[in-house]
Structure 1
């Protein structure tokens, strides 16, 4: 183990090693995942429960061949917020169920017709910048979480942020043997201890929390208007899912779109969202933070991710544990996210390198340029209650360009064939 650089998808690890590796994944997703229930005004325990259950379902449906951790989806925030304000959270749950069900139908269509179309509509010159944007557009979120974009930046926040980030960066370079695969966990612990010493951690919620507590289960109600408001988000989450699977494929050096297949991963993702709506949780999605952990540590084992899912389920029933994890301050989460989001951006660049993209060809230069500017420009396009921006809008633009160039090729109208 200590002499191997990569732990592959199907490999098992001893329990004493799996526990810290799993904790590393759980901590990586926690900050972003619990933010969604806070915005919706619900107890995060039910979300932690469903994140764990959804991840285990994902591993089962994909036959243990696609490493991914499912956390709370941000794509549903705007339309679900509208539904909650008009009719209440239970009707938003009905919309989540409907969106998950239709997403499963889309997966079955892909199973019938295949996924080869992705190489046509998103060639490497388009997919590289789209994947890079998954991480790059989150860079501001990482800095904001760390408190570095406030009008008056706290020196304590900077200290905790740097302690966390530098431990992760230098730990990934100088740590050896087993420590070399848990630099994220070590960085979180170091950052947390520095935060405690600086006096910015409030333990009051831990003292007030009960030892054991059941997650707050709730059940959906269905209303056609609410469903129609939420359903178009499928365009966003499907684009996001494809991007995540492609970047994960590059990291683990396996074509996950072929095996276990895009239809399986997309079905598993949407099936988890549908179940979430039935029990009172928020929609789930594969998480970029955990993709970043895999890229950095080279630990791809689904057993490790499954262990993180089990820990998430257990923590949802232990009030004090959930409260303790929630005391991790923003500068620590921001310091980790700063690195992990950058790893995803670097994976997009790797797609360009591995695909040997020739920028002497006008189409490649045009596609990459337009996609990057579209994703980073802040342009927003609204279709009713659905807003396309950032990576999702860039992905749609890239797909349109890819289709146009494909048609022009068929008509022999391009000059760079």
Structure 2
């Protein structure tokens, strides 16, 4: 085993665990808080239930999958549709009914997988497809990181948008410091390059005038999370359920890439069924108190790949800190004051590492590209996943990794059918 790897079951001393858990907290914080901000609800509620949900997930998966559950972006479009039908927070209450239904669907999928096993995964996700899907997970997020870093215009930018030298400089310096720390530091410091990069970037951003302490000053020291009532309406539930089609392949992909990183087949031990059950039960409980659906986070997978610290104790520590933050407004506001430029520089590295993990899958599986089916599978998955091709399912756009996964399944089954009918010209 490679030296300096901290495996899933290993427990580190508290003072070593704390900064490692903070790395995961910083990695997920921006995206997790952004979702409730867009919906106009209390971020503290989401932090609380994401932390609790992650602990539930770790418990159900027997502490064998180092995954943090954060707010899913897949629900932004359908929730906006539901919110538009009502005034005030009533729309969000009906959206919670849809979240509950999605949680039930995830639980049902987990139970089905428990009954039929995971042998079908090898059939629908051969290495040529799986490696490409994992690569797409990272590559489709790269433009988002580039926007955060100030290199390209955001989607809502005006025609006179221009690159901000301060933003780009801060993001590049953050990225450079993180890389230098990663490849030069030794011992314990070697496994916290992200934390060092974020802190260094924050200091640089402060002197560049990019840090705004207004929210920190206005935040209360103690702020109890807000709980929202749940309501059910079939039309609203049906508007949100299609997002599960995005969540399911995303969950499978994240579980597989995490398994590749830690060097274990997590779909078999503890099992993909337990992973779906953990995600589903977490989402159900979250919906009952007013929180958004949970999903495994690519940002945290990137942290695993860089640090080689796979301990679920560290993930659990991040979850406990998130629960703590949900009650302490100033601390949460301080973390949320980290400039986008800083997280953009870090995200370029995190998302890039996920993409490289996909390429690593292709290399380690020794995929034979002399076989046309392997070439086609990898090619089509990359093209569909990165082209921006979109299929609209009601109010939910199916694109990127979700659409690429479905296309990969169809192609893999087609090639298998050719084998059964003995129509393939490849052995």
Into which bin does the TM-score normalised by the smaller protein fall?
over 0.9
| Superposed counterparts of 1:223-242, under 5 Å | 223-242=233-252
Aligned residue in 2 for 1:372: 382
Structure 2 CA distance for aligned equivalents of residues 18 and 400 of structure 1:
43
Q: Find runs of 4+ consecutive structure 1 residues off by over 3 angstroms.
A: none
Instruction: Give the Cα–Cα distance (whole angstroms) in 2 for the partners of residues 238 and 174 of structure 1.
Output: 39
Instruction: Name the counterpart of 1:58.
Output: 57
Structure 2 residue 129 is matched with structure 1 residue 126: yes
Q: By how many angstroms is 1:154 displaced?
A: 1.2
Partner of 1:335: 345
CA distance in 1, matches of 2:316, 2:111: 25
- The answer to whether 1:21 aligns with 2:31 is no
User: For 2:73, what is the secondary structure of its paired residue?
Assistant: coil
Q: State the 1:304 CA deviation.
A: 0.5
Q: For residue 219 of structure 1, what is the aligned residue in structure 2?
A: 229
Equivalent residue number for residue 43 of structure 1: 42
The Cα of 1:386 is off from its aligned counterpart by: 2.5
Query: Which segments of 5 or more consecutive residues in structure 1 lack a partner in the other structure?
Result: none
CA separation in 2, counterparts of 1:287 and 1:226? 26
Cα distance in 2 between the residues matched to 1:408 and 1:302: 43
**Structure 1 segment 8-407 matched on structure 2, within 5 A:** 8-87=7-86, 88-150=91-153, 151-407=161-417
SS in 1 for 2:295: strand
Instruction: Determine helix, strand or coil for the equivalent of 1:231.
Output: helix
1:5 and 2:8 aligned: no
Once the 2 structures are TM-superposed, how far is the Cα of residue 413 of structure 1 from its aligned partner? 0.6
Normalising by the residue count of structure 1, what TM-score does the alignment of the two structures yield? 0.98
User: Structure 2: how far apart are the matches of 1:176 and 1:203?
Assistant: 34
Deviation at 1:383, TM superposition (A): 2.3
1-structure distance, mates of 2:116, 2:291: 32
Q: Deviations over 1:345-386 (max 9, x none)?
A: 000001101111000001001111111111111111112222
Aligned equivalents of 2:229 and 2:206: distance in 1? 39
Q: Distance in 2 between matches of 1:168 and 1:393?
A: 33
Give the 3-state SS of the residue equivalent to 1:147 in structure 2.
coil
What CA deviation, in whole Å up to 9, does each residue of 1:210-269 have, x standing for no partner? 110101111210011111111121111010000000000000000000000000001111
TM-fit CA distance, 1:161 = 0.3
Q: How far is 1:85 from its partner? A: 1.3
Post-superposition offset of 1:387:
1.6
Deviation digits for residues 112-149 of structure 1 (CA, Å, limit 9, x no counterpart): 00111111111000111111000000000001112221
1:160 shift after superposition: 0.8
Q: CA deviation at 1:32?
A: 1.1
Give SS of 1:34's match: helix
Query: How big is the alpha-carbon RMSD for the aligned residues of Structure 1 and Structure 2?
Result: 1.0
- Give distance in 2, aligned partners of 1:407 and 1:386: 31
The residue aligned with 2:423 is: 413
Native 8 Å contact 2:242 2:394 kept in 1: no
Distance 2:393 2:96 in 1: 22
Distance in 1 of aligned mates of 2:319 and 2:272: 22
Q: CA deviation at 1:4?
A: 4.2
Comparing 380-389 and 299-308, the one that deviates more:
380-389
Deviates more, 1:342-351 or 1:229-238: 229-238
The two structures have a TM-score, normalised by structure 2, of 0.96
